[in-house]
Structure 1
Amino acid sequence: MSLAKQLNDYRLTTAEILYHMPDHPGILQSYIWQDLDIAPRYPVLCKFLGFWTRELDGKLHSVRVASAELVRPARLRHTRTLMRLQ
């Protein structure tokens, strides 16, 4: 994964794509896609789905998307207790 992309708001994006099997349209098949993409527009995923509809036979049923920031500020928590090990 490119650090430059991560610093430009790219996130690890995972999509579960359900599609109808070409030979048996009543049966759904699952495909997992994962790449770096920019939320909330997801241009990389949209390009892939465009390719799917143009070039592949399986008709899309649904797409479920999840994404997570890979680079974020450090988080600190304050505690009430200080313990020292000697």
Structure 2
Amino acid sequence: MQETPTELMLKGYGLTTAEIFYRMPDYRNVLNTFVWQEYDLAPDHPRLFRFIEFWQDEIEGPLHSIRYTHRKMLSSGEWRNVVGEITYH
């Protein structure tokens, strides 16, 4: 069973976004970009590095560079359970 984004954030995960620049297989002088986004743990980023290893093993376009950012959107101290909701018209 896969965890929801909220469950991952409560466990300390943050949203990691990577912009991957790679060379086209048939045209080595042409750079293309690919955007990858996943919940990951900083500072080690195991999911990002697993994806980079997959890319190097399985995809023909050689990597040129990678630019990434990480944003921890929620921590366990910031979350609280709301029991009710009031709707105001």
Structure 2: tracts of 5 or more residues without a match: 79-89
Q: Percent identity?
A: 39
Q: TM-score, normalised by structure 2?
A: 0.77
Distance 2:63 2:11 in 1: 30
Q: Does 1:58 align with 2:34?
A: no
- What is the correspondence of 1:1-86 to structure 2 with a 5 Å cutoff? 1-72=4-75
Q: TM-score, normalised by structure 1?
A: 0.80
* Corresponding pairs, count: 74
If you compute each CA radius of gyration, which structure gives the higher value, 1 or 2? 1
RMSD: 1.3
Structure 1: tracts of 5 or more residues without a match: 75-86
Moved over 3 A (4+): none
